Amino acid sequence: MIRAMRPVIIAANWKMNTTPADAGELAREIARRTRVDGVTRVICPPFLCLAAVRDALAEADPDVAIGAQNVHHELAGAYTGEISAPMLDGLATWVILGHSERRRDAGETDELIGAKLARAVEAGLRPILCVGEQLADREAGRAIAVAEAQLGGCLTGLDPGRLGAAQLVIAYEPVWAIGTGRNARGSDAAAMAEAIRSTLSGLGWGETSRDVPILYGGSVTAANIGEFFAEPSIDGALVGGASLKPDEMAGIVGRAGLTAAARLAAIA
Ligand code: PGA
């Protein structure tokens, strides 16, 4: 059977940056500089800036998707300061879950992230689930075991068919590479992508594990993105710091476009 080609995805994680006053302009500028065939672009601003980004992109480039950076694991109730998945209706169609900064700062566990995943999928959001090891884990040769355990913890009990239909994306983000200027090697990211797909297979995904897009994240720039796209198992990037810079995004998405075109040519 010929499998459909996996999409090429560049997701921008703006983290706790921008305001409703300036987010729209930044989104517009990034959209204008990244018009490249075959690349799925996603911008994930802070909650407060979602409406401004939505309005700017509706006018500038409706092909750019919008994502949130988190959702709560319940639908509604007494959860002061929280945002639930159904509240994102009309504002976002993607969501980042399990980012290491939330695991670190908000104490999110794999079990909690799994509950958020379920809520996100019910609300029709496309999840980007983040996994990745600490430096000590990599140095001790435990990187793959850590990611496998995170995946198992997040996904156990969730229906692979449902997550597959929601087009789950996984981002491999080694914690030591996030915001440090120190990126993983392309070959290590590729080995991790293979391990992630075989873990999914073991969790009941079977052959459809080959269809799950896997992104690399951690100090991605226009200068190093080529190293990751040189690996056929890597389908794109989750970009933090560099995603606030239109020049960087233009370079990153431009490089992604080459991979998208090559993949298309390979199946034509
Ligand atoms: P970074 O962040 O590109 O700034 O390292 C990536 C991320 O946290 O998603």
Query: Angle between the 143-155 and 186-200 helix axes, to the nearest 10 degrees?
Result: 40
Atom of ligand 1 nearest to the CA of 238: 9
Q: pLDDT tens digits, residue range 47-68?
A: 999 999 999 999 999 999 999 9
Beta-bridge partners for 9: 40, 236
- Token readout for 83 is 């945002």
Range of the domain at 172: 8-267
pLDDT tens digits, 14-45: 999 999 999 999 999 999 999 999 999 999 99
Residue 111 is assigned to a structural domain of this protein:
yes
Question: Residue 99: inside a domain, yes or no?
Answer: yes
Look at residue 25 and tell me if it is in a domain: yes
**1 contacts: CB under 8 Å, gap ≥ 6:** none
The answer to whether position 42 is within a domain reads: yes
What is the rounded distance in angstroms from the CA atom of residue 180 to the CA atom of residue 175? 9
Band (pLDDT 50/70/90 cuts) for residue 3 is low
Ligand 1 centroid to Cα of residue 241, in Å, is: 6
CATH number at residue 95: 3.20.20.70
Tokens of 108: 């999110």
Arithmetic mean of pLDDT over the chain: 96
166 Cβ below 6 A of ligand 1: no
Contact present, 127 and 99 (Cβ < 8 Å) = no
- Could you confirm whether 73 is annotated as catalytic? no
Task: Please give the Cα distance from 84 to 92 (Å, whole number).
Answer: 12
Helix (H) or strand (E) holding 12: strand 8-13
Question: Is residue 119 domain-resident?
Answer: yes
Q: What is the pLDDT of residues 181-210, one digit of tens each?
A: 999 999 999 999 999 999 999 999 999 999
The model's pLDDT over 151-173, given as tens digits with 9 standing for 90+, comes to: 999 999 999 999 988 899 999 99
> In the chain, count of helices (H) and strands (E)?
10, 8
Flag whether the pTM goes above 0.85: yes
Taken in order 223, 227, 232, 235, the sign of the CA dihedral is negative
Gyration radius (Cα) of the chain, Å: 17
**Among residues 101, 108, 148, 173, which one is catalytic?**
173
If residue 220 lies in a helix (H) or strand (E), which one and from where to where? none
Residue 139 phi, psi (nearest 5): -65, -30
Q: How many domains does the chain have?
A: 1
Is the predicted pLDDT of residue 245 greater than 90, yes or no?
A: yes
Distances (CA, A) of 194 to 12, 53, 197, 199: 24, 35, 5, 9
> In testing the pocket of ligand 1, which one of 16, 131, 178, 249 has its CB within 8 Å of the most ligand atoms?
178
**What pLDDT, on the 0 to 100 scale, is given for residue 1?**
42
Does residue 43 belong to any structural domain of this protein? yes
Q: What is the largest CA-CA distance in the chain?
A: 53
Per residue in 93-123, pLDDT tens?
A: 999 999 999 999 999 999 999 999 999 999 9
Q: List the residue whose alpha carbon is closest to atom 1 of ligand 1.
A: 240
**145, part of any domain:** yes
CA-nearest residue for atom 3, ligand 1, is: 240
Using the predicted structure, report yes or no on whether residue 91 has a pLDDT greater than 60: yes
Give the span between the Cα atoms of 218 and 216, in whole angstroms: 7
pLDDT at position 267? 85
Residue 3 domain-assigned (yes or no): no
DSSP H helical segments within 82-142, as ranges? 100-105, 110-122, 135-139
Q: What is the dihedral of CA 51, 52, 54, 57, to 10 degrees?
A: 180
Q: Are 47 and 83 in contact (CB under 8 A)?
A: yes
